[in-house]
Amino acid sequence: MARASLLAVTFLLAAGTALAGDASFGPLWNPTGECNTEANTGEWLRPNLGTANDIVPLKTRIYATKEAVTDGVAMKIVYEKGSTGVLAFEKGKINTSLAGFTLYAKASAPLKFRTCTNVGQETKPVEIGTEWKKYDFPFKDIGFNNDWWQILFQVMGPIEQRTWLILDRIGVEGPAFDANPKIEPTTGPDDTLSSKDMLYGAENLAKTLERLKAKKPLKIYALGDSVTAGAQTMRGTWAVKVEDGVRFRYFGTLARLWEEEFAYKGITPVACGHGGWTTKKLLDEALQKEVLDSATADDLVILQSGGNDIAYAGSNPERWKADMKQLIAKVKTKTDQIMVVDSTVAATGPIIKVADGLSKALQEICADEKVAGADLTKLLTYRGPKFACALLANDYHPDFMGHIVIGEMIAPILTGKHKMYPE
């Protein structure tokens, strides 16, 4: 529906039916029309984290904030020292007869900022200040045309200290820029979630905790869907291949953070991810070969599923719970160290509608089966759908940054050092 109306607007502009001087705003859309910069705050517009050696410690974080000029939500980017300062948006087709890109911005301190299609290109930066202001980037000034495969939004570095930037109402305007569009500024503070409130059954991982304290090796088997398989993790960070990014996925991040906390090396993340698979299919076609054949009682098994069950296979939280219990029963033949992770979401669609039901089912699984649980669904939805996309590369799939933040929120289940989101 939303896509159709955008096409209608595009058509009207192209047909020249807008009055001369009129300005129409539209968000930026990804090439498949799945998400846009206004309805899916933060989604698809991903940080470039550099090379594999640059990714940790994480130097760019994106979250959704109530400090906004449209719809009560905007994207807030926190850049740490050494951040590349670059956000990348792979674009859909843009009507080049429009005036150009436009956005509202405010920053923690004055900074120079520009749009371009690669960092080697020369385009003139604007100065962003500490109060909301509209910034326009005329296509003719930046040389924009549809040969640009991506649009970069770049804070001109080097970034020497923690700096934040809020961007909102990112899009295109035309045929002319509107000097004074109607906006509705809203303010924070943002509601936070403690990791304590999304992690269940830590006591059921007592054996794993003992191994960590004793600095003994173990494997973390992660059996799951496309999220576990790393789909879309490389978005924005194009230098790092998906298959080379296991250590940056949520369970790889657990391995890294537990090694840091317990001061040893020896935790091996094992990716058993399958895009599009349901809990039942993981049970029937992957569990034995990829987990049970090699896992021992010393290992931790993460079971992550639910999205495909509900979005594509007509399941519901109750049936997911029943299927998950079957999976758990099989895993218990090898190890009772088990953590269940529920589904990621998209801003709209079937998962977000049953988010509370999934959280409830997860808590029941943990209580009934004496396993641990990490409520990923709750982390993404505790502030409602408008705030659900800031960790996502595309619908349902976090990028490397999203995975690392998710891992950071799960790690306290064994470190006991709870974290707030957003920080």
Size of the site for Ca ion (CB under 5 A): 6
Q: How far is the CB of 150 from Ca ion (least distance, A)?
A: 21
Tokens 């301190």 sit on residue: 109
Residue 71 or 298: the one with the smaller Cβ distance to Ca ion is 71
Residue 168 or 290: the one with the smaller Cβ distance to Ca ion is 168
Q: Does 67 bind Ca ion (CB under 5 A)?
A: no
* Buried b / exposed e along 181-218 (16+ C-beta atoms within 10 A): eeeeebeeeeeebebeebbbbbebbeebbebbeeeeeb
Q: Does 168 bind Ca ion (CB under 5 A)?
A: yes
Answer whether 410's CB lies under 8 Å from 199's CB: yes
Q: How far is the CB of 40 from Ca ion (least distance, A)?
A: 10
Stretch near Ca ion under the rule CB under 5 A, chosen from 57-65, 71-79, 173-181, 317-325: 71-79
> Mask 93-112, x = binds Ca ion (CB under 5 A)?
--------------------
Q: Is 382 strand, coil or helix? A: coil
Q: How far is the CB of 71 from Ca ion (least distance, A)?
A: 4
Q: Which of 68, 98, 410, 413 binds Ca ion (CB under 5 A)?
A: 68
Q: How far is the CB of 62 from Ca ion (least distance, A)?
A: 14
- The torsion angles phi and psi of 172, rounded to 5 degrees, stand at -125, 155
Q: At what angle do helices 400-410 and 250-262 cross, to 10 degrees?
A: 50
Stretch near Ca ion under the rule CB under 5 A, chosen from 44-52, 68-76, 93-101, 392-400: 68-76
DSSP labels, 240-267? S-GGG-GGGSHHHHHHHHHHHHHT---E
Q: How many CB atoms lie within 10 A of CB 157?
A: 16
Residue 289 CB partners (closer than 8 Å, separation 6+):
none
Residue 371 or 389: the one with the smaller Cβ distance to Ca ion is 389
* Buried b / exposed e along 3-28 (16+ C-beta atoms within 10 A): eeebeeebeebeeeebeeeebbbbbb
> Mask 364-403, x = binds Ca ion (CB under 5 A)?
----------------------------------------
Q: How far is the CB of 169 from Ca ion (least distance, A)?
A: 6
Q: What is the DSSP letter of 63?
A: E
Q: Does 70 bind Ca ion (CB under 5 A)?
A: yes
Q: How many CB atoms lie within 10 A of CB 94?
A: 22
Handedness of CA 329, 311, 250, 51 (dihedral sign): positive
Q: Does 71 bind Ca ion (CB under 5 A)?
A: yes
Stretch near Ca ion under the rule CB under 5 A, chosen from 13-21, 66-74, 91-99, 359-367: 66-74
Stretch near Ca ion under the rule CB under 5 A, chosen from 167-175, 198-206, 338-346, 403-411: 167-175
- Which stretches of the chain bind Ca ion, using CB under 5 A? 68, 70-71, 73-74, 168
